[in-house]
Chain A
Amino acid sequence: MSGVESFTTETRVRQMTSDTGLAERWDHTLARLGYKRNDHRVEPGIYALGAPGPDSPVFVTSNYTLSFDALRSALAGIDGYILALDTKGINVWCAAGKGTFGTDELVNRIDVTGLRQVVRHRVLIVPQLGAPGIAAHEVKKRSGFKIEYGPVRASDLPGYLQNRKATPEMRRVHFGLADRTVLIPVEAVAALPVLIVATAVAFIFGGLLVAAAAASAILAGISLFAIVLPWLPTRDFSTKGFILGFAVELPFALAVLFSGPSVWEWTKLLQAASFLLILPPITAYLALNFTGSTTFTSRSGVKREIYRYIPIMAATFSIGILVTIANAVVKIWGGI
């Protein structure tokens, strides 16, 4: 058992409902846009849902509002307790990876909240995606509480609670279109300054078509990529990004080639080539960074991608810059 059981003169249990409405949707939207990302928190501690008693189940979650609200709204009609850990407003999965949704915090929170006085049983239902941070056998040894890993998704809890068994499907994580799309706003907001500056610079040096080409390369990387991810060929994100970038820039290259009677002019060929050399690596780089937002890329794989493809991105980009400079020289020589 962990040290001395701390005494709380008053075990604080806050009453909470399963209802979520306008206020929650507003808060979640701001979170999804990246506004004050770490400030969407609830107070850590015990919350009562419905009319629980000493034998009611205890559900553990993080103190991130999206996690907390997903849990309590999934438990509509159920009497139970929620134990919110202090993960500094970070969601269960990321906090588990960092260790804040961890064995130490869980054991500490049990002590500090006086959970032992609130429930008679010694079982905690922990979301499966908290497992990277929780050593179940260690929690048992240190606190006396047994860990039951509940389903991945809070919405599966009612089904899980029927017989406290998770189906294999409840234990699987996927990355469907809705999961991918909901990540786009926060990516877009983060990339907005770069997008504006790059488009402005491209416009100043190259005009409207060049600006549109540059903007589309960045936009494809931060939004279109997430949507079409599973349908792009190859398994690596960098190569998927190259393919998408090439496809997005091809119309611009063709627009340059066919903007006038003759296709075979040096300046037009060089400009089309520079579109296809400078811009796809940008999309590929953004695509590579999207690996961190997925639920299935391994660290080893991402490392391999970095060492394989960053040099190719840098080389292609640099050659493209050289081609652009060569094109400028050709223009000056030709007196165009």
Chain B
Amino acid sequence: MLNSYLLTTLRYDPELCNRCGKCTEVCPHAVFKANGRAIDLARPAACMECGACQLNCPTGAITVDSGVGCAGAMIRAALTRKTEATCG
């Protein structure tokens, strides 16, 4: 209940994966893991939604919502009902 970080917007479609392994190279939290024959989502809850995997997947097998994660910017956006700005 007191863990807001269990679910993320990370989505991985193994059907589209060409096993290039770029996701395992760029992820700072070892979310993806090669198991010899395929790539698995080993630690999905560890995803911080940085978007490196999405950008470097040549087949589009990975999507994630990787916008600004700064609390200040999101609070301001929520209060002013505007689209989010960066904090600087």
Please give the residue numbers on chain A whose beta carbons come within 8 Å of chain B beta carbons, in ascending order. 96-98, 128-129, 131-137, 149, 152, 166, 168, 171-173, 234-236, 239, 288-289, 291-292, 295-308, 310
- On whether the beta carbons of B3 and A298 are closer than 8 Å, the reply is no
- Contact between B48 and A296, CB atoms less than 8 A apart: yes
Contacts of B52 in A (CB 8 A): 96, 131-132
Q: Measuring CB to CB, which residues of chain B are less than 8 angstroms from any residue of chain A?
A: 2-5, 7-9, 22, 24-30, 46-52, 55-56, 58, 65-72, 74-75, 78, 86-87
The residue on A at minimum CB distance from B20 is: A137
Decide yes or no: A136 and B56 within 8 Å by CB, A168-B30, A171-B27, A292-B70 being known contacts.
yes
- Which residue in chain B gives the minimum CB-CB distance to A147? B56
| Chain B facing A: main interface SS | loop
Contacting pair B2 A235 (CB below 8 A): yes
Residues of B within 8 A of A308 (CB): 4
A300 pairs with B28, CB closer than 8 A: no
- Beta-carbon contact of A302 and B22 below 8 Å: no
In the complex, chain B residues whose CB is within 8 Å of the CB of A304: 4-5
Chain A residues, Cβ within 8 Å of B26: 128, 131, 149
Starting from the known contacts A135-B56, A298-B47, A300-B49, 14 additional A-B residue pairs (CB-CB under 8 Å) come to A97-B66, A128-B26, A136-B56, A171-B27, A172-B29, A173-B28, A234-B3, A235-B5, A239-B2, A289-B71, A292-B71, A299-B49, A299-B74, A306-B74
